Structure 1
């Protein structure tokens, strides 16, 4: 599934296949015949239309991986192929951290306001009907009268 996903996403693949899997001791290989067949089908799939590095002894593998990875990084630069020390300016990390702290303080302030607002009694709700009584003075074109 991982291999198929990489193909689908057009991710560069470096294939390392044992040059003679029949020489691998049976105890270090797949014992179930059906699973051995699936493994062979996968090996064939990986080796088709792809650059493959074959190895026969385990001590060859680290060197092949290091050389192939280095060459792939140089040949196909991509996101993720950069060193961690080259990622961003340290000032950006400081600014991001400051913004994170400010965000946390604002969230705490919102939570504090919720507690304060919820603790007040006799506040009207959005759908509550409120009756107001009193007097006001009505003015119209110089005409004045009191209204209850």
Structure 2
């Protein structure tokens, strides 16, 4: 799997949370992801806020830390930190928020003592804590443990778009294309197997394996007057003929193998051993098993470079042969 890196925007007031921000950024780096924040350009005017919004747009997660200060205000009396938060929520960023659980215990130098600022901070706290799961913290150590756990959980449970190296992206794209081609190949093979498994749909009245057929052939007969080849015939089921044929088709063979199949069938039934099979009946046997989807025929080169037709078992043919030859448990 491609190593994906997430970009996390760290938002908070600046001067009162310098150490907490540094710890958070270090945790993000330790997890092999990318921190983003305005360490060098803290939000102080509209132009910088516009730039910050662009940075937030490029991030996968928005991480907010709320301490004891409301922060610098814009012309409308709203802190730039709250503006960042509102924009992250408005644009659908995944928000991870940490709010100080004991604001009254924060030192005066890190708190807003003016009533108006304190009221704005309380309102902002309530906004952040309503409608979402928020972790509270009381000291620097608690905060960093909470940050680490929350980030690891969010990366696993709520994965975002993330970033990957350009060469890794190319490899991933190739991998996805290969996988798509493989899935398509599997689908087509399944459809082909289904078509092969249901050949009788094309021939609704075709004889099945348990139907009988009369095969004409000649046999070798020795007498005092010499050797003769009289004609005869015998009745077989298509299954008897197929099992004799399939037992000799572990590798592709020419249609002469049909005579061997007939020989096996006659031996099992106690009939005369064939010397030559009737050419019409030989062709009928081949066509019947092709129509039943049990064998296939293809033209290929022989060992001496000539062209010949070779017969092979299909997947369905293999299944039928194995099903008929497998040894089963006694029912007693």
Deviation per CA, 1:101-129, whole angstroms, max 9, x where unpaired?
xxxxxxxxxxxxxxxxxxxxxxxxxxxxx
Query: Aligned to 1:73, what secondary structure does the other structure show?
Result: helix
Distance 1:8 1:91, change over 3 A: closer
Pair 1:13-2:104 in alignment: no
Structure 2 unaligned blocks of 5 or more: 1-82, 171-332
Look up the match of 2:145: 63
Structure richer in strand, relative to its length: 2
1:40 pairs with one of 114, 122, 131: 122
Which 4+ stretches in 1 moved above 4 angstroms?
Answer: none
Q: Which residue of 1 aligns with 2:158?
A: 76
1:23 is matched with 105
Q: Distance in 1 between matches of 2:169 and 2:132?
A: 43
The 3-state SS of whatever aligns with 1:42 is helix
**Matched length:** 88
TM-score by length of 2: 0.25
Higher relative contact order (CA 8 A, sep 6+): 1
Distance 1:29 1:61 in 2: 18
Match of 1:89 in 2: 167
Which has the larger Rg?
2
User: In the TM superposition, what is the alpha-carbon distance from 1:20 to its structure 2 partner?
Assistant: 0.9
Task: Choose between structure 1 and 2: higher helix proportion.
Answer: 1
TM-score normalised to structure 1 length: 0.54
> Which sections of structure 1, spanning at least 5 residues, go unmatched?
93-148
